[in-house]
Amino acid sequence: MFKKLFGKEEKVDKEVLVSPVTGEAVEITEVPDPTFSEKMMGDGIAFKPTDGEFVAPIAGEIVNLFPTKHAIGIKSKAGVEYLIHIGLDTVMLDGEGFTAHVSQGDKVEVGQKLITVDLDFIAEKANTITPLVITSDIASIDKQVNQTVIKGETEVLTVHL
């Protein structure tokens, strides 16, 4: 009640992310691209999608939607930035096979549809493995990998701030 009266924000010490896609969650080190596997952009997790619908893993704001729709950045309410990079070498597809359902600046809720892809088309032209990278400084993360995940439901990351 006082938070509403005085506008004080509640300090959070962790965030929990759900899977942005249905498939299998794996270690980011399994991504066959050193930018991700060597954590050059940050630590995270990766997914081997079995479905082409990608949803918001956390509530926040879309801070970056690449023109090619292959990658999307979300800033959580706690200020942590996350990057979902759909497939590898997908930037070369120039948006073909991708449909965005949000725009830069949009507020999103957990499970809200972000991007739909033609997974078969992508698989023919590129690798469908999808990294989810934390691009902000954080204290630590706990990962739930090597499991089948359901978009918008399965908890995959606990990010300690």
Per-residue pLDDT reduced to its tens digit, 80-113: 999 999 999 999 999 999 999 999 999 999 999 9
CB 25, CB 142: distance < 8 Å: no
Q: For each of the domains in the chain, give its residue range(s) and CATH number, in order of start.
A: 22-160 (2.70.70.10)
Sign of CA dihedral 18, 50, 40, 143: positive
pLDDT of residue 86: 98
More confident residue, 131 or 9: 131
Q: Catalytic: 160?
A: no
Residue with tokens 């893993």: 57
Q: Helix (H, G, I), strand (E, B), or coil: what is residue 35?
A: helix
Q: What is the pLDDT of residues 15-67, one digit of tens each?
A: 999 999 999 999 999 999 999 999 999 999 999 999 999 999 999 999 999 99
For the chain, report the end-to-end CA distance as a whole number of angstroms: 25
What is the Cα 12 distance to its own chain's centre?
Answer: 20
pTM > 0.75: yes
How confident is the model at residue 13, as a pLDDT? 93
